[in-house]
Amino acid sequence: PVTTTTPPVTTTTTTAPEPTTTTTKNNVDDPAFSALFEENSRLREQLSQQKASEPTTAAAATGGADFDIAAYREQALAATPPNIIECAEAGEGGSQEACHLPRDRRFEALGQKGVTLWMTGLSGSGKSTIARALEEELVLKYGKHVQQLDGDNVRTGLNRDLGFSPADRKESVRRVSEMACLFNGGGVITLVTLVSPYRADRDEARKRHEDQNLNFLEVFMNVNLDTVQERDPKGLYAKVAAGEITGFTGVDAPYEAPLTPEIDLPNSEMSIEECVAALIDRLQKEGVLEGGPTDPSGLPLPPGYAKGWLEDELILTGAEAARAKEDAAKLSAKVRLTDIDVNWLHVISEGWAAPLSGFLREGPLLQALHFNSIMIDPFDDQGAKDLIYTTTDWNDYETRGSTRTSLSVPIVLPITAYTKAAIDASADKAVALHDKDGRLLGVLRDPEVYVNRQEEIVTRCFGAIDPEHPYIKHLYAPGMDYLLGGEIQIFEKIAYDDGLDKWRLTPKELFNEFKAKEADVVFAFQTRNPTHAGHAYLMRTGRERLLAKGYKNPVLWLSPLGGWTKSDDVPLDVRVKQHQAVLDEKMLDPSWTVMGIWPAPMIYAGPTEVQFHALSRKAAGAAYFVVGRDAAGIKGSTEAVWNPDDDMYDANHARYVLQMSPVLEDKKMSLLSFDKFYYDKSDHTMKAMDESRPDDFISISGSKMRALARQGATPCEDPIPSDLLAANCVPQGFMVPSGWAIVCDYYQNIDDADRWVPWSKSVVDPSEWTSTSTVAHGAYGTKDYALFLTIDGKQASPWHDVPLMAAASSTRTGVYNFVTEIPMYTSAKMEVTKDKWYNPIQQDSNKDGSPRYYTYGTPFFNYGLLPQTWEDPDVKTPEGYGGDDDPLDVIELGDDPLTMGSVTEVVVVGSLELIDEGETDHKILAIRSTDPRASERYDSPDDLERHFPGVVDKLVDWLKMYKTSDGKPENILANNDLPLSAKDAVAVVDECHSAWQKLTSEGAQHSDFWLGAGL
């Protein structure tokens, strides 16, 4: 809120007589000021007497003429260089910066930059008053170093020998300017409050600053003579009027107003608070209140910002991304990310948790859990800039960062013992990051694996014990015994292809959107519900509060939560489309609103989590965060130890904790806090209750809104009924009509789960890893997806129509056809369906109906079946285990993925016999026939180890343990975990082929199977 209008110029002469007084005692009311005049007068009278009786050496040298101190000063200054060589590094005529701590390093360490605010104006124009108020605000509220150089205090020491002649005024300005340069260069916010009436003198002060690359802001106290005469704080104007003082600036001596001051402050039209706010706003825009980089818009940059936007460092593009992805594909250790892990990868890669650039290492995690913050050293002031980016050193008890930044939630990457073993065995200093569908998303460098102390994380973060809390349940996921920390890079911006990506803006993109709207402040409103009039009331009122603070164009960031949410929350696509309707119908003004999805998961941790919500909005330039009651709250489940089936947190705790949290310590963010609001029946708006007419207000709870939406309620007629559900109407103005229609559509079709986008979860096109000889139906990742095989352009069954023996078997013994169901690195549990028409490949389901995935890790093999085979349940092993009623499973050990539905010629190299829930489930080991290893002999386990080092041990671990990460017991392997020879494995194949022949010949006895056309 700073104006830059050109002030009026006083037309004056450039010289004036020295102010004189008619008395030497008590001629002003201010004792100090009066004493200054008296002392000055006494000294000048003494000097005059001295010059008359004892000429100085300088006077004698000029033949005894009167000594002109001003001329002498001019000559001395002209003969003296502006600086001396302070050190050898500076050199003759060089900058003296070389002799000192570099200015930018000093500023970074101090957390502020030097500046000189040269406040000029008539006596009584408010220079000292406003400077003192500004100093108090900067020191007490912002913790900044400030020094005021006031006309009065410098005349008691530095300028004690100067009077008020033009020459002395000039010298006063010069001396104060030099002093200001020293303070300014030392990183001090320097407030100069001098009348400094002559433009040329002020311009010279500016030049001295500019010559040293020091920031100089001229502040014009634009107050006219009539106003200052009326104020007359020191009684001087009264003395002038009485003729007791002559030659007074602005009255009978000149004042040359600035022509183009950086700040024009007409403070007669402003309160002191408004003046201070205007000056602080300008200091923020100048970047003075930060030691490091700032943006000219004045919008705050992300926490820990040092060299640039974190997303530019962590999201690779172009050739660099291609090279990095190629290198990552060769890494031996691969980590499988869940959809929630991908949300956190999204958060990290775009800088929403800045300055964090990876999943938390153990040391930083402990800091986050115990302090809700982490120590950082962004400018390497303590030599600890890599403190949170290196492996935790438990023996380092000296290194500390220079500052703290808030981080209250555990951004961790859980892994299984299987993945840990792969990382431990790898000689690489990096691991590849794959999503559950096998796509290579990024790389994590310098991995740090440590124990997942789940209970410590849960109790510290949530302050509660509730095993059925939805995110606590996620943290307690079985089998995830370790955490993986390390810095990440990804090969392209995370996108979900769910129709909502256009609203997924990065912090940098949002920041630029705010600047494009010429925001001078941004306030963020997070939501995970449809926007109704109550929310709009909060947002509009929040903006009004900011306008009242003096901001000119507050911009709202409507920030729907986009990551994982619990199953009964309103789906993301419903919320976003409803928010857009609110903007389209202008319940919120699009000219001052930007909608951008926030990608983090919701963890429902109340007071702990709301701190992260606020911190993360700072990453995109928000300076205010709207917070209401029960932020990030949730009801405890029936299993909660304390207060089951009731609010886990007090409704007031979150915003109280946020107000006291580290998030606000750097003064870059403040809160806009609101309490409960109601619907006013008298004017159809939402607002705070007017206690004088309580009967006009009604509360519309979330459960009531949901019930009305399910009933398809229409707008109420006046008078608004007290029982909305019985009347099946929604109050006028409660929600925009098109938005209400979207909400009704959802609640009336809530059971059609595949229709909605519950949260940010990738919609995957599997064509990259499906065979060209297949035809897909339905959406991948849903129960409707089915992949049908074709042979020569005709529908075919992968189980019955693909021959067991490959064409090559006519010239080479033991070559089989292998049908890939699960390509290497993908984890969707795809399988040929025995009971469906033409046996398409579909995804298996969990008991709750959700799609099933391997969760133990990233499969390092291709998985599928041998066609025309069947493990007969009636054929028992000596131990009494029957076949598993499925085609023979195959693990193909090639070096790269095969496509789903593809048919590949393979050679059998062995077999492992899995005992799975009381059934025999053979796993035939094979290698594609084109692999050089296919021609080797495999007569013993040693042969397998020789040609596939370490693979059998990994397979044994996988087959025994892969269900433990789903909470199931270990599997058992027969034959003491040893593989069968290739010869014995072929015998198993032959046996199961015979069983299939019998099955298809007796098709009528197996009516639950689709056994081929006509069967």
Q: Give catalytic residue positions.
A: 196
| Sign of the dihedral through C-alpha 637, 641, 644, 646 | negative
- What's the rounded Cα separation, in Å, for the pair 433 and 335? 5
**Could you tell me the CA-to-CA distances from 804 to 547, 770, 816, 992 in Å, in that order?**
77, 21, 6, 11
Geometric angle at alpha carbon 715, from 557 and 707, rounded to 5°: 75
Identity at 439, one-letter amino acid code: R
Within 10 Å of residue 891's Cβ, how many Cβ atoms? 25
- What's the rounded Cα separation, in Å, for the pair 297 and 531? 30
Enter the tokens of residue 595: 């909608």
Geometric angle at alpha carbon 846, from 842 and 850, rounded to 5°: 75
Residues 410, 452 contacting (CB under 8 angstroms): no
Helix axes 127-136, 272-285, angle to 10 degrees: 60
Grouping H, G, I as helix, E, B as strand and the rest as coil, residue 101 is: coil
| Sign of the dihedral through C-alpha 409, 415, 416, 420 | negative
| CA proximity to 434, closest of 723, 761, 991, 826 | 826
Tell me the sheet residues that pair with 876. Answer: 882
SS3 content of the chain, % helix, strand, coil (to 5): 35, 20, 45
Q: Long-range contacts for 174-181 (Cβ within 8 Å, ≥24 apart)? A: 174/77, 174/201, 174/204, 174/205, 176/149, 176/205, 177/204, 177/205, 177/208, 177/209, 178/208, 179/149, 179/154, 180/116, 180/118, 180/149, 180/205, 180/209, 181/116, 181/208, 181/209, 181/212, 181/214
Geometric angle at alpha carbon 53, from 48 and 54, rounded to 5°: 95
- What's the rounded Cα separation, in Å, for the pair 954 and 958? 6
Q: Which residue has the tokens 């980016």?
A: 389
| Sign of the dihedral through C-alpha 658, 659, 662, 668 | positive
**Could you tell me the CA-to-CA distances from 335 to 653, 763, 768, 821, 855 in Å, in that order?**
38, 20, 20, 21, 11
**Could you tell me the CA-to-CA distances from 650 to 636, 700, 797 in Å, in that order?**
12, 20, 59
The secondary structure of residue 441, as a DSSP letter, is E
Identity at 699, one-letter amino acid code: S
Identity at 209, one-letter amino acid code: H
The secondary structure of residue 695, as a DSSP letter, is G
- What's the rounded Cα separation, in Å, for the pair 641 and 639? 6
- What's the rounded Cα separation, in Å, for the pair 512 and 536? 24
| Sign of the dihedral through C-alpha 31, 34, 40, 43 | negative
- What's the rounded Cα separation, in Å, for the pair 518 and 386? 36
| CA proximity to 185, closest of 101, 294, 292, 66 | 101
- What's the rounded Cα separation, in Å, for the pair 560 and 582? 13
Strand ranges inside 258-381, DSSP E: 263-265, 334-337, 358-359, 373-376
Residues 799, 855 contacting (CB under 8 angstroms): no
Residues 687, 540 contacting (CB under 8 angstroms): no
